[in-house]
Every structure is written in structure tokens, then in C-alpha cells.
Amino acid sequence: MRCIFCKQDSGSSKAIEHIVPESLGNEEHTLPVGIVCSKCNSYFGLKVEKPLLDSDYFRQARFRNVVSNKEGRIPTIQGLLLPGIVPIEILKERSGQSIFPSRERDIPTFVQSLRANREGKLIIPATTVPDHNLMSRFLAKAALEVLAFKMLKVEGALDEITDKPELDALRVYARYGASPAYWPFSTRPIYPERKLFIENTERYEVLHEFDLLYTKSNELYFVIAIFGMEYVLNMADRETSGYVDWLKEHGYESPLYTEGRSSLQ
């Protein structure tokens, strides 16, 4: 068995690979031990996924959607309490929400402000886009893993994915961040973060969903939605114009939608 990224022997690997991090709510979309070697698995976790999840964008998204990490903790976010301009850390628990000073030296100012003012303002700077370089490398990593995920039961398919030269540029970019340093991707909102979907009277939220799109122009695109934001990456070329053309031909509907799926606003 060989790793689909570094192509080295992965027979001694010991961990499964999560296509989407557990800290984004993924428990079921995983690859068996050995598809990604331990060294690559560890690299992606420490150098790509962790800094991406620790970024303000995903900390705020996970906070809003009450998505905990592997240890069951929901990330805190930063804000400012006025008056007093006290840096505040905001903690959300299942039972409610609380705030406290980020720095111990601000506790007296914080207490004084609460005693002196019946009302105040809590300012939370909003981050509307993720770090493009980290997001791009995460998409490249997830794209190859989704391709492997879909081909697990096809004899010889994993070897073909590992050896396919058309995927080498994406493979190297995901694993090493090789030059050029950025692989463009398309992004757009396709439904609100907290939208409720309904199926057979059951209501549920969608934290993430993904698929592959093969266009009539022979382009393979990876499509994933996370918290209602759709991200699309061309797996063989640094160009997304073919996906734009596909959207125009299909009324700008996402390829992630399945026929007959309904939703609640």
C-alpha cells in the first residue's frame, strides 16, 4: 500500500484519515489506515488543518454553529467590551454564553465597568473569508482524499490515483505548498449557515457535504460546502472558468443538490 500524496510505502501507518477535520463535525467521512501515510496525516493535521481551524474565520463559524473539537470544547472568540475597551473572550456552552477578560490585568476594569454601567456594547470583529492559502491547500488535500474515498471499492483505482501524472501538481501543492504558491478556488454561499433541511419529516442541519463534478470539457472539479459556503477546486488545472460555464448552463444550482431535496428557511 502506498500513500496517495507522497507515494511512499504506507504499510506501517496506524491512523485513519479524516477527509474533513473532526473539529468541523466530521465523524463518518474517513479513509482506511494506509491510504494516507502517518507522516502525511500528521503534516496535514499540524500544518494545514490546525492553523486553518484556529483562524478567526473558522473559530467564529464553529462558535456560531456550536461545533466542538475532539475534546468537546467549543472555541472561544475575541471581542471588546465598551465602555472601558476591555479585551474580552467569549465562551459559549451548551447551557448558555459567558464573557470574561482575555487578560488577567483587565479584571479590575471589567468589574468596574459592570458595576458602573447598566448597559454596554460588545464588539466582535467579523472575519468574512478564510485564509486563502490555507483554504486552498486544504481543498487540494480533501479533493484527492474524496477521489480515493469514492474509489475504495474499485480494484486498482488507488494505484491509478497515486500514479496518475495529471494529479501530481495538486498532490505536491497539497503536501508541500510547492510553487506557484496558490491554487485558486471558487467560493459562494449556497444556503445560510443555520438552515434546516427536511427529509421524511426529520429536520437537520448540514455541516459539510461534498462531491466530484466531471464536466463535458473533461475537467474534474472538487465541490464541498462547509457551513453553507461552497468551495470549488479544479483538480488538474489552476483555472475555474469551466465551472463558471457549467453553472451558467445549469441555472447556477450547486452540483451538491440532489433531486427532490427540500429545505426549511
Q: Are residues 116 and 233 located together in one domain of the fold?
A: no
Q: Are residues 189 and 259 located together in one domain of the fold?
A: yes
Look at the chain and report how many structural domains it folds into: 3
Cα 176 to Cα 3, 139, 220, 236: the distances in Å are: 14, 14, 22, 17
Average pLDDT, the chain: 88
Chain centre distance of CA 253: 21
Q: What is the pTM of this model?
A: 0.88
The three-point CA angle 247-249-250 to 5° equals 65
C-alpha to C-alpha distance for 244 and 248, rounded to whole angstroms = 6
The answer to whether residue 62 is domain-embedded is no
Q: In this model, does residue 262 exceed pLDDT 70?
A: no
The parent domain of residue 99 ranges over: 67-123
> What residues are paired with 92 via a beta bridge?
97
Chain centre distance of CA 234: 17
pLDDT band at 95 (very low <50, low <70, confident <90, very high): low
Which residue, chain included where needed, has cell 479524516? 18
The answer to whether residue 128 is domain-embedded is no
Q: If we measure between CA atoms, which residue out of 207, 190, 147, 196 comes closest to residue 26?
A: 207
Q: Are residues 73 and 50 located together in one domain of the fold?
A: no
> How many Cα neighbours within 13 Å face the side chain of 12?
3
Q: Are residues 118 and 239 located together in one domain of the fold?
A: no
The answer to whether residue 60 is domain-embedded is no
DSSP letters, 154-180, are: STTHHHHHHH-GGGHHHHHHHHH-PSS
- The pLDDT tens digits for 14-45 are 889 999 998 898 888 999 999 999 999 999 99
pLDDT given at position 186: 95
